[in-house]
Amino acid sequence: MRSSLIVLSNLSLLGLALARPIIQDAQFLLRLDAGETRTQCFTQRAAQASDCQTLLSSPPPPDWTNVAAAGSAPVFKPFCNASCCLFTDTKGVLTDDLVSAGATLLGCEQLGKGLVNGVTKSGTAGFFCLADAMGAEGCFDNF
């Protein structure tokens, strides 16, 4: 009985550890989940996590202007607050879905530094990136 509890306890801790994207060696770690959700965390072009939290707790109406360079795939910047912007490759995503993707990306926060940058793909909703205002230049390049 006791060994069963220890095994269950260890499995629970493993589940908690795998539930959050992890930054490794100032690069990124790819995490695959059921449902084709993928998240990568980065350290460059990071935004202040507190600005991102404020943005997601009170999002403005989305702005669907394409901010990609001419001749590039479209990138939209529906939300921005101070140093934090949420980017997507899909126009017209519902605000609740944008906020949900952003909340997922808050898991990429560099603990102790208060910075966040990451990209996630959520099923058929497209790609989402949480980064500083200039993040559109490389958000989806390595994903």
Closest C-alpha to 119, from 99, 105, 138, 107: 105
Q: Is residue 143 part of a domain?
A: no
- Grouping H, G, I as helix, E, B as strand and the rest as coil, residue 119 is strand
Q: For residue range 18-67, list pLDDT tens digits in order.
A: 344 434 333 334 443 445 668 899 888 899 999 999 999 999 999 999 99
- State the residue range of the domain holding 121: 2-137
Higher pLDDT among residues 125 and 74, named by residue: 74
Q: Please report whether residue 142 resides in a domain.
A: no
Q: What is the C-alpha radius of gyration for the chain, rounded to an integer number of angstroms?
A: 16
In the numeric block, the tokens 């949420």 are attached to: 86
Backbone region of residue 98 per phi and psi (left: phi > 0; alpha: psi in -120 to 50; beta: other values): alpha
Asked whether residue 35 is domain-assigned, the answer is yes
Q: Does residue 73 form part of some domain?
A: yes
Within-domain flag for 46? yes
Do 128 and 119 form a contact (C-beta atoms < 8 A)? yes
Distance between CA atoms of 100 and 64, rounded to whole angstroms?
18
The whole-angstrom separation of Cα 98 and Cα 56 is 9
Has residue 124 been placed in a domain? Answer: yes
| 70-87 pLDDT tens trace | 998 999 999 999 999 999
With bands split at pLDDT 50, 70 and 90, how would you rate the model's confidence at 4?
A: very low
Q: How many domains does the chain have?
A: 1
Tokens 């993928």 sit at which residue? Answer: 38
Domain assignment present for residue 84? The answer is yes
